[in-house]
Structures are given as structure tokens and as C-alpha cells.
Amino acid sequence: MEYSFYDFLKLLGSLALFLYGMKIMSEGLQKFAGDRLRSILTAMTTNRVTGVLTGMLITALIQSSSATTVMVVSFVNAGLLDLAQSIGVIMGANIGTTVTAWIISALGFKVDVSAFSLPLLAIGIPLLFSAKSTRKSVGEFIFGFAFLFMGLNLLKVNAPDLSENPDMLAFVQNYTDMGFLSVLLFVLIGTVLTMIVQASAATMAITLIMCANGWISFELGAALVLGENIGTTITANLAALTANTQARRAAMAHLMFNVFGVVWVLLLFKPFLGVVDWIISDVMHVSEAEGVAVSFKLSAFHTCFNVCNVLILIWFVHLIEKTVCKIIPQKEQEEEYRLQFINGGLLSTAELSILQARKEINLFAERIQRMFRMVRDLLHTENENDFNKLFSRIEKYENISDNMEIEIANYLNKVSEGRLSSESKLQIQEMLREVTEIESIGDSCYNLARTINHKRSGGIDFTENQYEHIHQMFRLTDNALSQMIELVEDTHHQVDINKSFNIETEINNYRNQLKNQNIVDVNNKAYDYQMGVRYMDLIGECEKLGDYVVNVVEAHRDVKNKKAS
């Protein structure tokens, strides 16, 4: 079999199309009403069992565990599933792919999803050019979905066609009589084959050919199947290359799940094969004629392996989650939006739910101050690449603040529907006001970053005096945010609320002073009018941010006064 450099380039191009489809699909999902899709997926993955069933169902429908795990990685990347939920779906996908194998062998039917790629592009193109943002997002999702499956199909087409050249593998019969060492060797061969071919179904076909031709025994065929289960995880890990930390963790969880399963089955290899042999021969009464028994034995082994692995590991989802989090640590610049205290739904009592929501608001306030400090760093970032990275991170935090406001507010509204004391109702009103104002602080931070970006794009720079004034205003604003965080986190009412009002007064006075000085400086030609506009945009936005901080403080004060009365 000839495989030229041109064929290798086509393989790389197929991989590029696959990764691009993954990226576009994820972005389209994130833009198109992620909250609604999140609700559906959360409902389908409320616990481990429903998550596994969801993975089984999706894989049985699209008949590709690789496609399912890639979509799961995409959902995690878009923030629609958390890591624990994704692990359950991936477990189900492993079982679902064995269901598909039984359907294929029994009915000889397989849906080729890639055949629908071009018609999907025809549907998506009008949506892509739509003026309405939601339709455009749907168009992006359809394009990404189509490219994803086109890429998967082209990967299979352009990979070395080993299934059509089984003679290339005839040499392996020289290594079939080394005992358990042969089993380990064939696990490795199965892993490498599936990584190359990118389709466990194709490597299963190769395994059946080798068993039917008598090159290897059922035992070694089963070892190849174990290797295929490890090799099939490479697709999700490839998809995660362009994804965020949580998505890479989901792909790693898939790898860990399958590797652990292979390890424990290898430890119980002989007894496990004996059980499968008994199921096929004595329970199902499959005849030995024409290698049919070997085919059914391999299919049964694949199913039993994955079902047993899920039954064991479904109780250790949180342990798997903690392990992959340690293996792939979260980088600060890649921080993802995820509610930490109220993501699991309502708690047993409304009072406890309010406590959890309070913790989430405290975290929200801390994230907003982190965003403001990024803006402060942005002002003095000279390197173009570093500037663009930091500005993109600030944009990401803006999206995070929007999402947190919506989810915390929705949660508080659900809590308010329960039976509450009058004091608890006041607390919820306070929290809703706080959440709205904190999100407005995030908007101001983003406006500051955009002003700095416009200043940089215009090729102008501030004078030394202007920088000193901006630094002083930023210090005052950061102090206001620190005082606000102390106040919202204060459970014993020990923080002096008047400090916040004093800082706000100082910010207002300083803004007025700089505004008057700016008019004088522009008239005296100290700097041009455009530079003065950018300068006052920063100063004015800081003053506006200080107003939002005071609104949060007042919300806190009002509820205290009402409680006292």
C-alpha cells in the first residue's frame, strides 16, 4: 500500500477541518441562547444515571461514540455542561457504541451522518448571513456541525486504509504464543490502530477479519478490542486541543475511564472471557459455524466490558473529576464561568438557598474586582500580543458577569416562590439589587478597557500628568471595590458603611477637579482635544463605576435598616 506525502497532507487537512468544525460549533452553541440549552442538558443529566442514559441515547442515534464525546467536549467548552455531567454522558457513550455495533451486525444498517453535511451547509448559509443574531448563531452551529462530520469522514477516508489491507497485519501471528505478553502487545496494537484509523468500528472490522482468518485467537481479538477502547479516546482529545481547560479535562476523563476499565479487565482476563463464552454458547446458543460465534463473542465482550466498567465507575464520578482537575490544573487566565455554590439546583430549605446565593454574590464581587485590576494592567501593557490577550480576557469576564447576573437572579426568583419569612424576602430583594449593580460595574470595566483599546488604536498617548491622575483615580476606584467586597462579605455588621460613602465623595470631587483642569489644559495646548476626550472618558467611567459601588452599598444598608425596624 502506497501512502505519499500528499496523502499525509490530506490527512492533516482533514484534521484541520475537524478542529475548525469543533471550534465553530462550540462558539455557535455559546451564542445561541446557551441558557435554554443548558436547562435542557441539565435536566437530562440531573444525576449519574440519567447522564449515562443520555450518552447511550445520543450515541445510538448518531451511531458514533467519537462524535458524541466530541459534542460533549464542545458543550463543556461552551459552558453548557459541567465536568461531572460530561463524565456521565461519556460513560453512556461507551455503552451506546456497543449498542450500535449490535444494530449494525444484526440489521446491517448504519447512518452515515457525513452524507448530510452538504445539505446542512445549504440550510445554514442563509442563516449565517441573517441580520438577526440568534439566526446567525444557529447558522454558525450548523456550519460547525457539518464541518465536524465532514472532518471525521475525511479523517477516515484519508487515513491509511488498513481494513482493506489485512495482509499488512499478517505478521502479528508470529507474536500470538507469548502468553499474557501477547495479550498486552495486542492491546497496544489495538490502541495504535484506532488512533490511526479514527474509527473503532473500522478496527473492530480488522479484528473480525483476523479472527475469522485464524491469525489470532478469540483471546487476542478481545485484547485488540480493549486497545480500541483506549484508542477511540484520541478523537475527543484532538477536539479538546482548541478548547478550554474544562473541555480538556472532559477528554482526559474519557481516557482515564477507558484505561481504568482495560486495567481491571486485564487483571481478570481469563474469568471475564469465560463468562462471555458462557453467555454466547450456553445462554444464546450461538453455533460455532463459519466464525459466527467469534463475531458474537467479540461483540458480547465489547458490551460486557463497557457495561461493567460503567457499573463500577459510576459511583466514582466525583473522584474522577477531582483527579483530572489535578492532572490538568486551571490556569488563571483561562478561568471559566461556573457557579460554585448554587449550580446544583435549589437546596432543601429556602433559608439555606439564600445563604448559598450570598456566597455566590460574594464570589461575583471578587471576580469583578479582578476584572477591574486587569483593566489597570491593560493601561501599561506595551506588547501587542500581550495586550490582545489581556483585552480578550477582559471581554471574557464581561460575558461571565452577564451570565452570572442572569443565573443568580433566576435562582433567587425560584427561591422567592417558596414559603419565606418577611426578612428572607427583604434579603432576596437586596441580593437582586446587588447582582444588577455588580453586573453594571462589569460593564464599566469593559468600557474602560475599550477606551484604552481605542486610545492605543489611535496611536495617541497620555502625558505624564494625565497618567498620574488616571493612576490616582484607579486607586480610589479599587479602594471603593475593596470596601464594597468587605461589606457584602460581612456577616456580623462590623464594617463601617460610611467609608464607602467617603470614598465615593472623594471620587466625585476628584472627577470634577480633573474635568475643570482638562478644559484648561486643552485650551493651553498641553495636549490635543482627542486625547482630552479619551482621558476624560476614563475618568468619567471610573466615577460612574463608583456610583454603582455605592448602589450596592445602599442596597446592603437598606435591608439592615428594615431589619432593625
Q: Are 53 and 61 in contact (CB under 8 A)?
A: no
More confident residue, 510 or 317: 510
Give per-residue pLDDT as tens, 341-385.
665 444 446 666 777 788 888 889 999 999 999 999 998 888 888
| In the chain, where the domains are located | 5-327, 350-564
Q: What pTM did the predictor assign? A: 0.53
Contact 234, 196 (CB under 8 A): no
Statement: residue 186 has pLDDT above 50: yes
Bigger pLDDT: 267 vs 2: 267
- The average confidence (pLDDT) of the chain is 78
Neighbours of 26 (CB within 10 A): 28
Q: Are 447 and 542 in contact (CB under 8 A)?
A: no
Q: Is a pLDDT exceeding 90 seen at residue 544? A: yes
Give 452-504 pLDDT, tens digit per residue: 998 888 877 888 999 999 999 999 999 999 999 988 877 666 667 888 899 99
Cell, residue 558: 437598606
Burial 463-487 (b: 16+ CB within 10 A, else e): eeebeebbeebbebbebbbebbbeb
What is the pLDDT at residue 537? Answer: 93
> What is the percentage of the chain residues whose pLDDT exceeds 90?
17
Look at residue 332 and tell me whether its pLDDT is greater than 80.
no
Residues 6+ apart with CB under 8 A from 461: 455, 531
Neighbours of 366 (CB within 10 A): 14
Whose CA is closest to 257, among 87, 105, 394? 87
pLDDT number for residue 291: 46
Q: How far is CA 431 from the centre of its chain?
A: 28
Question: Averaged over 329-343, what is the pLDDT?
Answer: 61
Residue of higher predicted confidence among 423 and 369: 369
Confidence class for position 285, pLDDT limits 50, 70, 90:
low
pLDDT tens digits for range 374-413: 999 998 888 888 999 899 889 888 888 888 888 888 888 8
Residue 561 scores a pLDDT above 60: no
pLDDT in tens, 46-64: 777 888 888 787 776 555 6
Measure CA of the first residue to CA of the last residue in the chain; give whole Å: 87
In this structure, which topology does domain 350-564 adopt according to CATH?
Methane Monooxygenase Hydroxylase; Chain G, domain 1 (1.20.58)
